[in-house]
Amino acid sequence: MKLIFHPLFLKHELSGHPEKPERLSLLKLDNCVEAQNGEKYLSLAHEAGYIEKIKSLSRGTPAGSGPPHKEPGKAVYLDADTYINGDTYEAACYAAGAAVQAADIGGFALTRPPGHHAPYGGFCIFNNMAIAVKASGKRTFIIDWDAHHGNGTEALLKNDKNVMYFSTHQVPLYPGTGLRSEGNCLNVPLDAGTGDEDYLRVVEEKLRPALEAFQPEIVAVSAGFDSYCKDAGWLTDLQLTQKSYKAVCKAIARYKVFFVLEGGYNPESVKDGVETVINQFV
């Protein structure tokens, strides 16, 4: 399985913010597939006004007010948690492109900024997963193992008969959604402190039957490693180990799969998580 990356992912940054370039600092990025610009795909998931807003905020000029410009080191906030600097729009376009490529080649997109809360903030800019799923056009089963519920992905793909969204996430926790299942969205809330024993039960009793019933052409994973034990105490409090991620990978091994990075704020969590996935699909 190929990793997909672009140097622009490291230019989306704001000093002191937990969603920072150092998240990827322990990964070997030398031999990655280079991400392509995915700007042309943004409208598959987002309204034109939202896209223009992100572009304008990133370039430091209100929509329609004249030529764009960038001020190094400057950043504004989309919401209380989500920053935008002069490189954010371009980085987010390439993140979307990386996700589309991952779906095409069966790879792992090391996307920054992340996406599964977009367009509702939460550190996210464009919804990379929803864009990739829409671009592929395939019958897709999405697994979101990030510790936070992917409210953006759910909202953008809800009632899409070509998609099943399956999310495990800590409750209570931001964004406070995903408390119940509805339609094509199967939500499995987890208590703080949940570890492998309970998670493996979810895989066997809920995930496998849902996969079998849906019969996808492709399985997509929103791989947030803030559910990993080494991330506990940073922003979340789950206690999963590599054993849980391996169990999910085993459950989806017979399908074409791709992965898109979401959360994970301890660089060791991202390193361990990505390596675990890659080793399952050598």
Q: Which residues are catalytic?
A: 117
Q: Which residue has the tokens 């989806």?
A: 252
d(CA 86, CA 59): 5
Contact between 239 and 198 (Cβ < 8 Å) = no
d(CA 244, CA 90): 34
Of the candidates 181, 163, 180, the residue with the CA atom closest to the CA atom of residue 222: 163
d(CA 235, CA 263): 10
Contact between 194 and 240 (Cβ < 8 Å) = yes
Tokens representing 105 are: 């080649």
